[in-house]
Amino acid sequence: MLEIRADIGFPGHVVLTGVDTVVSPGEGVLLVGRNGSGKTTLLRTVAGVLAPSRGAVLVNSEPASRQSTRRHLGLVPDPPPLYEELTPWEHLELVRRLWRGDVVTTSRVEQVIGLLDLDSHLHQRCDTLSLGWRKRVAVAIALLHEPHLLLLDEPFNGLDRRATRQVRRVLRQHLAAGGSFIASIHQPELLDDVATRVLAVQNGTVLYDGDISGWDPEWLDAELDDEDGWDDDEDDEDEDEDELEGEGPDVQPMLASSAGRERRR
């Protein structure tokens, strides 16, 4: 179980205040909001990569930053921070060895390869792969150790229809097995028949936290229309510059993470 009762941000800047929510086994949460609203920062805080600005983020009653909680978490960043010179197979083998012991078996590696249909690109260097194939590798890494909670940042970014169906199927199976997920996504319709809840963030706070059946995307649009200078036809940047500051192709956070109340304001 995930419990968040905290302000979320990074050193020197609070992005979201008063986040108060619980994600239970079997729940799939769509994390929605405009670019720069704090979705990625929230995911990284749950993954233990960032500390909350105030309050606590607990995974099975332990702080998310503790090493012991990482066994329960699987993080899929966007873009996937892979080692360019390694192949998908080498990434999976590296992660398997990092977990040590029998946390990840060779048969589990083969199973994940099959789930995401990686065979055809398994031995190509990652710097030759498209974004879609790199995203598949990132999802595979997150699944390897069979975490209870998956944290996915734009999981369908770059995926073709076949890969999209595969990831949807994986998430559906994950929920059926008692797992849970939080997926930051700009196309919620891709998961609106899989997810159970929506957590919408806007203007530094939680706009809605409740059952997916009670969510109306127009609420978010209405909030955006109220902002000065907002134009529906205007292109947004892919990510908020503040959120991306200091990030780069560092695979360690991903590898380490791999090692309804309703409210409307």
pLDDT in tens, 26-81: 999 999 999 889 999 999 999 999 999 999 999 999 999 998 898 999 999 999 99
Residues in contact with 195: Cβ distance below 8 Å, sequence separation at least 6, in sequence order: 28, 29, 30, 181, 183, 188, 212
Q: Which helix (H) or strand (E) holds 263?
A: none
Distance CA 222, CA 224 (A): 5
Residue 18: inside a domain, yes or no? yes
CATH number reported for the structural domain that contains residue 20 in this entry: 3.40.50.300
Residue 232: inside a domain, yes or no? no
pLDDT, residue 220, reads 73
Structurally, the chain folds into a number of domains equal to 1
Average pLDDT estimate for 133-139: 96
Radius of gyration of the chain (CA): 18
pLDDT tier at 5, thresholds 50, 70, 90: very high
- Token code pair at residue 59: 């995974």
Average pLDDT estimate for 10-19: 92
Beta strands in the chain (DSSP E): 2-10, 13-23, 28-32, 54-59, 62-63, 73-76, 149-153, 180-184, 197-202, 205-211
pLDDT at 20 over 50: yes
Residue 142: inside a domain, yes or no? yes
For the stretch 213-235, pLDDT in tens is 999 888 776 655 554 444 444 44
CA dihedral 240, 192, 255, 59 (to 10 degrees): 100
Least trusted range by pLDDT, from 16-20, 88-92, 226-230, 246-250: 246-250
Residue 264: inside a domain, yes or no? no
Residue 241: inside a domain, yes or no? no
Percent of all residues in the chain with a pLDDT value above 90, rounded to a whole number: 74
State the residue range of the domain holding 168: 2-32+52-179+191-196+205-214+251-258
pLDDT tier at 11, thresholds 50, 70, 90: confident
Of the candidates 101, 115, 94, the residue with the CA atom closest to the CA atom of residue 258? 94
Structural contact between residues 143 and 112, judged by C-beta atoms closer than 8 angstroms = yes
pLDDT, residue 221, reads 67
pLDDT at 113 over 60: yes
Least trusted range by pLDDT, from 14-23, 172-181, 238-247: 238-247
Residue 95: inside a domain, yes or no? yes
Residue 231: inside a domain, yes or no? no
Residue 224: inside a domain, yes or no? no
Alpha helices by DSSP H, listed for 35-156, are 39-46, 88-99, 106-115, 131-143
